Amino acid sequence: MQTNEILETIKMIDEEYLDIRTITMGISLLDCMDPDIHVSCQKVEEKICRLAKDLVKVGNDFSKTYGIPVVNKRISVTPIAMLVACSGGNPVEYALTLERCAQKLGVDFIGGYSALVQKGYAAGDNELIESIPEALAKTQHVCASVNVGST
């Protein structure tokens, strides 16, 4: 690195407030499907907490090492509507499970309380979509989405 590159980076951090907006850990939950929603939720919680246990620490260590703030630490999971299609039951149970994970791990938010309906509705999509208001009212860290189109 040249001195001017170092000074330019320092200026970006100091004067232009350079930061890393979000680091995200993506986790597939397809292997957590189970016809019993309670068993499925247990599998989801165990897997997320096991795989993401160091996410916040890694983000904080990065910030400390390089002096660049990491503003948000996030987890993103397989669209929950896919699990609802297998387990049935009230999808809000998954939202509450995701919330427990977020609280245990200290992440800023967890995404994946989602349905992908851009190509039509599949089993679980409608149930999840109808549950979004209740799920968001009962959680603080869960992000919901419905993908209705793509190019």
State the maximum Cα–Cα separation within the chain, in Å, rounded to a whole number: 60
Spatial separation of the C-alpha atoms in residues 4 and 120, rounded to whole Å: 53
Spatial separation of the C-alpha atoms in residues 114 and 143, rounded to whole Å: 8
CA geometry: angle at 125 spanning 123 and 130, to 5°?
A: 130
| pTM of the complete model | 0.86
- For the chain, 151 residues long, the average pLDDT of each consecutive 10-residue run is 74 72 94 97 98 96 87 95 94 98 97 92 92 98 93 72
CA end-to-end span of the chain:
41
| Domain spans of the chain, in order of start | 3-147
